[in-house]
Amino acid sequence: MTPPSRLHLRHRTAVLATLPVALATLVGAAGATVPGKAGASGAGDPYFPLSGNGGYHVRHYDLTLRYDTSDRHLDGRAALSARATENLSRFDLDLKGLKVTRVTVDGAPAAFRRDGQELVVTPRHTLRAGRDFRVTVTYAGTPKPVTDPDGSADGWIPTDDGAFVAGEPQGAMTWFPANSHPKDTSSYDISVTVPQGRTAVSNGVLLGRRTEHGRTTFHWRETQPMAAYLATVTIGKFDVEQYTTHDGVHVYNAVDPREASAAAPVLKKLPSVLSWESKLFGPYPFRSAGSIVDHASVGYALETQTRPLYDSAPDIGTLVHENAHQWFGDSVALTAWKDIWLNEGFATYAEWLYTEQHGGDSAQKTFDALYARPAGDHLWAFPPGDPGSGGNIFDTPVYARGAMTLHELRKAAGDRDFFRILRAWTAGHRGGHGTTAQFEALAERISGKRLDGLFHTWLFTKGKPNSA
Ligand code: TRP
Ligand code: ZN
């Protein structure tokens, strides 16, 4: 759609100003009096009520960033191609901290105000449901991480040589204005300028890199739908390795030299891990892959899309886990954070399966060791299908009991049907979303068994369940 020209807008404003009586009629004739309402300030997720926004879908983010690693200053311009899903008189973006200097909608300056993590944008005219529109936000400042309910740092985390940028569950808003809920997935173009000698690593493919006047610009593109929390622009002094696998996947590994010797033997296994996971879970969902191994004390790794992010050299289990998320969580996205076991239970079970098939303990043995924990153990503190709050989503019951749920399903369905279920799940929801209810329905359909008791017991019942 063509944005109205500035000239046209100025002209219209002038006419309206001189003919106040005819205002309503005139604007009506121009098509702008559609009654609109304010888009919701959140996506409706009770765990993070202000994450995401109502009334529109972002199809594409075009982010142009410049970061100065010495004074930690970020300059940003975000251009969002969006589609209204309601008639919108105004809408919100999620953005925390930073100073916004200008917002445009379809090329025209728009009014905006800040309200906590909400950037409230009022365009000149109502945005009609179903119509595409373009928003630009110019902003700058020193990005700071947010603290999650479980106490961990999330978002833009400065390091001694750059920044570790991990946005799960709510940190995307610390560095770009977003519809920051996994319900809304988008393609991305991310261009980052950093001091020469530093590398900025993001998702997807590196389209180009250019050095000028002591600064290097990296241009990254992710074409597959991606949730905002899975975007990264991790910056540091990195050794870079690139190659293409036998399956035609482009691998880009960036490693902090301080982690290089510990990381090398594990990263060497990435192609074999991806092909092993492809056999179990279906074809790798993306065209690019890789790893970002930073040297930072963040305390967790993140399955940033196509290119997991580690705060230090990962062990093989962590590599298997974060790459399993490419199928479970990234390609198939959540619609609500309470379904987090669909990410973490599956990625954890991938670790058990890897161990089982590479000369280690069977998944049954791993299950048994966990099941032996007494009823008062933290493992049984809450059921994984209903963690109860955002502060619990990365806790042991989600990971371990989530994986135990899949092991129970495997026993009930048998190996053949169990792996068929996993592959049907990734194929049927690829590039889209999935819910716990949909997974249960699929498992019942493929196995031909009633599984409501199993899921009810393992996912939703408080306390230590009885094992079949
Ligand atoms: N999803 C990550 C993983 O398991 C973990 C994670 C992301 C996390 N953000 C977090 C853990 C915040 C604790 C706190 O691979
Ligand atoms: Zn995980």
> Is 66 found in the same domain as 207?
yes
> Is 224 found in the same domain as 156?
yes
**Which stretch of DSSP H or E encloses residue 201?**
strand 199-201
How many angstroms separate the Cα of 357 from the Cα of each of 37, 179, 268, 277, 313? 55, 40, 18, 11, 23
* Beta-strand runs (E) in 69-131: 73-84, 88-94, 99-105, 108-109, 111-115, 118-122
How many angstroms separate the Cα of 66 from the Cα of each of 188, 195, 212, 240? 16, 9, 13, 21
- Among candidate residues 185, 206, 237, the one where a domain is terminated: 237
Mutate which of 303, 394, 395 for ligand 1? The one with the most ligand atoms within 8 Å of its CB, which is 394
Query: What's the rounded mean pLDDT across residues 51-70?
Result: 98
∠ at Cα 156 (345, 227), nearest 5°?
45
For residue 253, tell me if it sits in a domain.
Answer: yes
Take atom 10 of ligand 1 and give the residue whose Cα is closest.
Answer: 168
User: In this structure, are strands 215-227 and 205-212 parallel, antiparallel, or unpaired?
Assistant: antiparallel
216 in contact with ligand 1, CB cutoff 6 A = no
> Is 212 found in the same domain as 190?
yes
> Is 267 found in the same domain as 174?
no
Separation CA 452–CA 180 (nearest Å): 32
Please say whether the beta carbons of 32 and 4 come within 8 A.
Answer: no
For residue 467, tell me if it sits in a domain.
Answer: no
> Is 155 found in the same domain as 75?
yes
pLDDT band of residue 34 (cuts 50, 70, 90) is confident
3-state class of 176 per DSSP? coil
Largest CA distance in the chain: 82
Take atom 14 of ligand 1 and give the residue whose Cα is closest.
Answer: 152
Q: Does the pLDDT value for residue 318 go beyond 60?
A: yes
Mean pLDDT across the chain: 94
> Is 398 found in the same domain as 294?
no
Q: Does the pLDDT value for residue 29 go beyond 80?
A: no
State pLDDT tens for residues 424-444: 999 999 999 999 999 999 999
101 CA to middle of ligand 2, Å? 37
286: domain CATH number? 3.30.2010.30
365 CA to middle of ligand 1, Å? 25
For residue 292, tell me if it sits in a domain.
Answer: yes
330 in contact with ligand 1, CB cutoff 6 A = no
Q: Does the pLDDT value for residue 212 go beyond 80?
A: yes
Which residues span the domain enclosing 223?
36-237
Query: What's the rounded mean pLDDT across residues 84-104?
Result: 98
Comparing 20 with 158, the larger pLDDT belongs to: 158
Q: Which of 28-42, 46-60, 62-76, 180-194 has the lowest mean pLDDT?
A: 28-42
Q: Does the pLDDT value for residue 464 go beyond 60?
A: yes
3-state class of 160 per DSSP? coil
- With 0.85 as the threshold, say if the pTM is over it: yes
148 in contact with ligand 1, CB cutoff 6 A = yes
> Is 437 found in the same domain as 315?
no
Instruction: Dig out the tokens for 186 from the structure.
Output: 């988008």
pLDDT value, residue 466: 85
State pLDDT tens for residues 254-273: 999 999 999 999 999 999 99
363: domain CATH number? 1.10.390.10
> Is 179 found in the same domain as 47?
yes
For residue 466, tell me if it sits in a domain.
Answer: no
* Residue type, position 281, single letter: F
Comparing 32 with 309, the larger pLDDT belongs to: 309
Total of domains in the chain: 4
184 in contact with ligand 1, CB cutoff 6 A = no
Q: Does the pLDDT value for residue 16 go beyond 60?
A: no
For residue 100, tell me if it sits in a domain.
Answer: yes
Q: Does the pLDDT value for residue 40 go beyond 50?
A: yes
Q: What is the DSSP string of 358-418?
A: TTS--HHHHHHHHHTS-TTSGGGSS-TT---SGGGTTSHIIIIIHHHHHHHHHHHH-HHHH
* Beta-strand runs (E) in 204-321: 205-212, 215-227, 234-236, 239-244, 250-255, 288-293, 309-310
Render the burial of 374-395: b for 16+ CB within 10 Å, e for the rest. Answer: eeeeebbbbbbbebeebebbbb
* Residue type, position 84, single letter: A
Q: Does the pLDDT value for residue 119 go beyond 60?
A: yes
For residue 430, tell me if it sits in a domain.
Answer: yes
pLDDT band of residue 345 (cuts 50, 70, 90) is very high
461 CA to middle of ligand 1, Å? 24
188: domain CATH number? 2.60.40.1730
Contacts of 372 (CB under 8 A, 6+ apart): none
> Is 268 found in the same domain as 200?
no
pLDDT band of residue 468 (cuts 50, 70, 90) is low
For residue 272, tell me if it sits in a domain.
Answer: yes
pLDDT value, residue 33: 62
For residue 65, tell me if it sits in a domain.
Answer: yes
State pLDDT tens for residues 353-376: 999 999 999 999 999 999 999 999
Render the burial of 283-321: b for 16+ CB within 10 Å, e for the rest. Answer: ebbbebbbbbbbbbebeebbbbbbbbbbbbbbeebbbbb
Query: What's the rounded mean pLDDT across residues 54-68?
Result: 99
Sheet arrangement for strand 111-115: 37-38, 88-94, 118-122, 111-115
- Among candidate residues 173, 208, 237, the one where a domain is terminated: 237
- Among candidate residues 301, 324, 347, the one where a domain is terminated: 324
Contacts of 101 (CB under 8 A, 6+ apart): 138, 139, 140
Q: Does the pLDDT value for residue 1 go beyond 70?
A: no
Query: What's the rounded mean pLDDT across residues 380-392?
Result: 97
Where does residue 197 fall: left (phi above 0), alpha (psi -120 to 50 degrees), or beta otherwise? left
> Is 206 found in the same domain as 63?
yes
Rg (CA), the chain: 24
Where does residue 253 fall: left (phi above 0), alpha (psi -120 to 50 degrees), or beta otherwise? beta
> Is 147 found in the same domain as 69?
yes
Instruction: Dig out the tokens for 384 from the structure.
Output: 């994984």
164 in contact with ligand 1, CB cutoff 6 A = no
> Is 300 found in the same domain as 367?
no
User: In this structure, are strands 309-310 and 332-333 parallel, antiparallel, or unpaired?
Assistant: unpaired
Separation CA 180–CA 8 (nearest Å): 34
**Which stretch of DSSP H or E encloses residue 266?**
helix 260-267
Take atom 1 of ligand 1 and give the residue whose Cα is closest.
Answer: 302
Query: What's the rounded mean pLDDT across residues 203-229?
Result: 98
State pLDDT tens for residues 225-245: 999 999 999 999 999 999 999
Residues present in the chain in total: 468
Q: Does the pLDDT value for residue 47 go beyond 50?
A: yes
